[in-house]
Structure 1
Amino acid sequence: MSGWHSRAELVNHLTHDQRTDHSDGRTTTWKVLKRAFRGNNLWTVIERFDYSQGAAVHSVKFICLFMLQRTGDGTWAYKDVIASMGPTYYNCPTSWFDEVPVDGEYDRQWREECLESESRRRRLRDGARIEFDRDIRFSDGCTGRLFGAVKSGSKLYFRREDGEYVRLSQRLIDSGRLID
């Protein structure tokens, strides 16, 4: 059996300070400076330091997404994607962007998508309507293309044209078009 026995155990592993001593005398350390959850996506700002003979010779900050998943045997695993690889999730806290330098074209494009996604979420007020280019099929067999946003406390639901309330994933919302 591999993996971690609980989500908390995995998160602790991913967020505690790490150190690697290399055979040539160099040392690398990683420190998680910030973290935020969006479902089972753990967004982090990590600072890596490279040392040679005890003195820091290089440091870099980067944004890393850890996609956490419970496996078939009940343990937890993860896949990590750094911003320069262009993650396909766009719900990273955008307030971090000023603190972390852009690392290449994929990172730049990804940040633009994150900012657009955040802007779209803010515009999803009670009563807003979202439309999709294709039918969205639900587990009850019903489909729909047009949904009305309904806020209940801090939660956001959507009303199908048949009046039923549904939840839409952030990825799905991001692919829709706000109308009104």
Structure 2
Amino acid sequence: MGWSYSTQWRSKKQLVEYLTDSYRFGENQELLKSSVVGNNHWYLAKQKTTGEIWIGLDMMQSGREDGWGYKDLTASCGPVEVNCPISFLKEASEPDPDSYDAQWRKRVVSYHKSKRQKAKRSYEAGMVVQYDGTDYRLDRPAGSRRGWYVNRQPDGMLFRMNARQLGQAEIRGADH
């Protein structure tokens, strides 16, 4: 399974338009819905003859002068990506409990649960977080830009840690 590129897809938008075209799915399958998350195009499709609803993934990337490209997978054949919309899991047909698809769905649910927990974090001045192996003490919120001003431990250099970095950091406790 390789990547397909075309100079006809000069932008991500053009590629997504191609990926959602009914012609791509043929007469026996129907695209029910799709969602772009980063460079992943997730979709639900229905097999018309059996009524089975399955999850598909088109991983997309820019080939620069070669245009945009994609690699297509189904949930049953091994995506490692876990940012599939959780609603797709609820609408898709139930997989065999011992299948790769079932194990992958558990990882998707775990990813979304972890993401919600990180979003609920509350930060206070004096907390210590570890990001990329280095400890930082939270100094003060960065205001409307989000994130925090932090002091790198132990040298005290001041930095601004954006919200994405802060969400990836591990909370170590409070600085005493």
Q: Same fold (TM over 0.5)?
A: yes
Q: 1:83 aligns with which of 75, 87, 93?
A: 75
Identify, as 1 or 2, the structure richer in helix. 2
Change (3 A) 1:58 1:70: same
Aligned counterparts of 2:75 and 2:89: Cα–Cα separation in 1: 11
- What amino acid is the match of 1:87? P
Secondary structure class of the residue paired with 2:89: helix
Q: Is the 8 A contact 1:19 1:30 kept in 2?
A: no
Q: Structure 1 counterpart of 2:76, which letter?
A: S
SS of the residue aligned with 1:18?
helix
Q: How many residues align?
A: 153
Distance 1:47 1:151 in 2: 47
With over 3 angstroms needed to count, the CA separation of the structure-2 counterparts of 1:88 and 1:75, relative to structure 1, is same
Contact 1:38–1:91 at 8 Å: present in 2 too? yes
Question: In structure 2, what is the equivalent of residue 16 of structure 1?
Answer: 21
- Say which one has the larger Rg: 2
Q: 2:54 aligns with which of 47, 62, 65?
A: 62
**Residue 100 (structure 1) aligned to one of 74, 92, 98:** 92
Shift of the alpha carbon at 1:87?
Answer: 1.4
Distance 1:59 1:152 in 2: 51
SS in 2 for 1:127: coil
Q: 1:29-80 CA distances to partner (integer Å, 9 max, x unpaired)?
A: 332211112111111101133xxxxxxx434211111111110315100011
Cα distance in 2 for residues equivalent to 1:34 and 1:107:
19
Write the mapping of 1:21-60 to structure 2, written as runs, cut at 5 A: 28-49=27-48, 57-60=49-52
* 1:7 equivalenced with 2:12 (yes/no): yes
SS at match of 1:63: strand
SS at match of 1:46: strand
Q: TM-score w.r.t. structure 1 length?
A: 0.65
Q: Percent identity?
A: 25
Partner of 1:53: none
Q: Give 1 or 2: higher strand fraction.
A: 1
What is the Cα-based RMSD across aligned positions, in Å? 3.7
Separation in structure 2 between the aligned mates of residue 113 and residue 80 of structure 1, nearest angstrom: 19
**Which residue does the alignment assign to 2:160?**
164
Unaligned 5+ runs, structure 2 = 153-158
Given that 2:142 and 2:149 are in contact with CA atoms closer than 8 Å, whether structure 1 keeps it comes out as no
